[in-house]
């Protein structure tokens, strides 16, 4: 947008809707979920059919870590294959959804909590496209990503998310994409095909997180490091957990809470996902 009048026209285009879009935390798991027809991808497709069609999708993915907070602002974000060792079919996937530079600029200008930089280099990483291509296979809805400033505290991310709430009222679907329990070093690779095989600590923390979410205990979720040894095993690094904090910051007191894809994979990963609203 080149001037104030164009900005105002775009703001008018984003007038508040008669409804508030739901907000999602999605456990994305293996990149293979992007091309497999399984219980996880089937539910993602179901979500795309059942929730209101968004004007745009904004994803906070565990796989875009940055210094400072950035938002993609290009017309056509590239599909990023940020993984290795998978079948060629996964690398062949292109998800040609458009971006929305005006929405990126609008969002950056609306946020007061911190400075949001416009990014023209990143694109859509696998924390985004492996999920969204199942929800919106026609790739006709603009998709943007918001980066995770890895040098900030968990509370920073929760507070920033609270300022993003206004986008829910303007038809934007916001998704946090990560995993509540995510310890790749402890994956039992021989048990990947054993349904819902989970270590005791992984099951314990998955249940703890769900209970804290239902209770609305934001402080405990923000201060997850105080939840004991099981939490340290579940979250050895915070990258896949932080998207959940964005989702929690976007929740309103009127939102209903529902869980889906509530399964343990390979002992030390959970696909447990949650929707607020809907």
Whether residue 217 contacts residue 127, with contact meaning beta carbons closer than 8 Å, is answered with no
pLDDT over 90 at 60, yes or no: yes
pLDDT over 70 at 226, yes or no: yes
pLDDT over 90 at 94, yes or no: yes
Query: pLDDT, tens digit, for every residue of 195-204?
Result: 889 999 999 9
Assign a CATH topology to domain 4-276.
Protocatechuate 4,5-dioxygenase; Chain B (3.40.830)
Residues of the chain with pLDDT > 90, as a percent, come to: 90
Domain ranges of the chain: 4-276
Mean pLDDT of 116-129: 98
Mean pLDDT of 133-162: 98
pLDDT over 80 at 4, yes or no: no
Q: Classify the phi-psi angles of 20: left when phi > 0, otherwise alpha if psi is within -120 to 50, otherwise beta.
A: beta
Residues of the chain with pLDDT > 70, as a percent, come to: 94
Residue 165 has a pLDDT of 96
């Amino acid at each position: 947008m080149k001037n104030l009048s164009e900005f105002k026209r775009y703001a008018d285009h984003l007038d508040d809707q008669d409804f508030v879009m739901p907000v999602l935390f999605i456990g994305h798991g293996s990149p293979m979920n992007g091309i497999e027809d399984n219980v996880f991808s089937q539910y993602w497709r179901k979500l795309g059919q059942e929730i209101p069609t968004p004007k745009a999708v904004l994803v906070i993915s565990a796989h875009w870590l940055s210094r400072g907070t950035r938002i993609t602002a290009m017309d056509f974000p590239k599909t990023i294959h940020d993984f290795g060792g998978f079948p060629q079919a996964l690398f062949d996937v292109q998800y040609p959804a458009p971006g929305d530079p005006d929405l990126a600029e609008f969002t950056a200008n609306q946020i007061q909590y911190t400075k949001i930089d416009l990014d023209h280099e990143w694109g859509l990483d696998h924390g985004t496209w492996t999920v969204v291509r199942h929800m919106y296979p026609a790739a006709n809805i603009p998709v943007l990503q918001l980066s995770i400033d890895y040098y900030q505290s968990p509370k920073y991310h929760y507070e920033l998310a609270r300022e993003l709430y206004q986008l829910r009222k303007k038809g934007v679907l916001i998704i946090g994409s990560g995993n509540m329990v995510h310890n790749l070093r402890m994956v039992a690779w021989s048990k990947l095909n054993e349904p819902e095989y989970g270590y005791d600590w992984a099951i314990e923390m998955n249940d703890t997180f769900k209970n804290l979410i239902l209770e609305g205990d934001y402080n405990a979720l923000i201060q997850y490091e105080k939840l004991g040894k099981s939490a340290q095993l579940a979250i050895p690094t915070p990258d896949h957990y932080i998207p959940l904090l964005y989702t929690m910051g976007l929740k309103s007191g009127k939102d209903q809470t529902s869980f889906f894809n509530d399964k343990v994979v390979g002992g030390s990963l959970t696909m447990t996902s949650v929707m607020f609203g809907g």
